[in-house]
Amino acid sequence: MQLVDVDIAKHTIELKVNGRPSNLVLDPRTSLLDALREHLHLTGTKKGCDHGQCGACTVLLNGRRINSCLTLAVMHEGDEIVTVEGLGSPQALHPLQAAFVERDGFQCGYCTSGQICSAVGMLAEVKAGWPSHVTADVASQQIELTAEEIRERMSGNICRCAAYPNIVAAIRDVAEGARR
Partner 1 sequence: MIGQAISRVDGPFKVTGQATYAHEHWEAGQPLYGFILGATIGRGRITLIDASRAEHSPGVRKVMTYRNAPAQGAPDESIPSLYWRAQPVLTNPEIRHYGEPVALVVAGTFEQARAAASLIDIEYAVEPGNYDFATRQDQSYVPKVVNGRMEAETSVGDFDSGFNSAAVKVDQRYTTPYQFSHPMEPNACLAVPRGDDLILYVSAQIVDSARASVANTLRIDPERILVVTPYVGGGFGSKLGIHSETILAALAARQLNEPVKVVLTRQQIFHLMGLRPTTSQRVRLGAGKDGRLVAIAHEVNMYTSPHEEYAEQTAATTRALYAAPNRWTSHRLTPLDLPRGEDVRAPGEAPGLLAVESAMDELAYALAMDPIELRIRNEPKVHPETGIPFSDRRLVECMREGARRFGWDQRPAQPASLRKGRWLVGYGMAAAIRMHFQGPAKARVRMCPDGTAVVQSDMTDIGGGTYTILAQVAAERLGLPIDRVRVEIGRSDFPVSWGSGGSWGAANSSTAVYRACEALREKLLASARDKSEALSEIVARNHPEGLEAEGEIVSMEKDPNYRAYSLNTYGAHFAEVGVDVDTAEIRLRRMLGVFAAGRFLNPKTARSQLIGGMTFGVSYALHEQAVVDTRSGAFVNRDLAEYLVPVHADIPELDAVLLDGFDDKANVLGVKGIGELGVCGSAAAVTNAVFNATGVRVRDFPITLEKVLPGLPLMEA
Partner 2 sequence: MRPFIYERATDARAAIAAMSTAGAKFISGGTNLLDLMKLEIEQPTHLVDISRLAFKDIEELPDGGLRIGAQASNSDTAADRRVRTRYPLLSQALVAGASGQLRNKASVGGNLLQRTRCPYFYDTASACNKRNPGSGCSAIGGLNRSHAILGGSDACIATHPSDMAVAMTVLDAQIELLGANQAARRVAIADFYRLPGDTPHIETVLGPNEMITGVVLPPPPPGRQVYRKVRDRASYAFALVSVAAIVATDGGTITSARVGFGGVAPKPWRSVEAEAALMGRPATMATYRDAAEAAMTHAIGRGQNDFKIELAKRTLCRTLAQVAQVG
* From candidates 17, 66, 81, 150, binder to partner 2 by CB under 8 A: 66
Contact 122, 154 (CB under 8 A): yes
Amino acid at 142: Q
Question: How far is 165 from 169, CA to CA, in rounded Å?
Answer: 6
The amino acid sitting at 165 is P
Mask 68-107, x = binds partner 1 (CB under 8 A)? Answer: ---------------xxx-xxxx--x---xx-xxx-x-xx
Strand (E) or helix (H) holding 123: helix 112-127
Mark the segment that binds partner 2 (CB under 8 A) among 48-56, 95-103, 104-112, 169-177.
Answer: 48-56
Binders of partner 2 in range 69-88 (CB under 8 A): 69-72, 74-75
**How do beta strands 11-17 and 80-82 pair?**
parallel
Please give the size of the binding site for partner 2, defined by CB under 8 A. Answer: 48
List the one residue out of 102, 118, 130 whose CA is nearest residue 159.
118
Distance CA(134)–CA(154), nearest Å, equals 12
| 47 interface partner picked from partner 1, partner 2, none, CB below 5 to 8 A per type | partner 1
**DSSP string spanning 48-65?**
SSSSSSS-TTEEEETTEE
Residue 139, contacted partner among partner 1, partner 2, none, CB below 5-8 A by kind: partner 2
As a whole number of Å, the end-to-end CA separation of the chain is: 63
DSSP classification of residue 92: B
145 makes contact with partner 1 (CB under 8 A): no
Query: Which residues of this chain interact with partner 2, rule CB under 8 A?
Result: 1, 3-4, 6, 8-9, 11, 27-29, 31, 50-52, 55, 58, 61, 64-67, 69-72, 74-75, 118, 121-122, 125, 128-133, 135, 138-139, 141, 151-157
Query: Which residues of this chain interact with partner 1, rule CB under 8 A?
Result: 4-8, 27, 29-30, 34, 37-38, 41-51, 53-54, 56, 83-85, 87-90, 93, 97-98, 100-102, 104, 106-113, 116, 134, 147-148, 150-152, 154-168
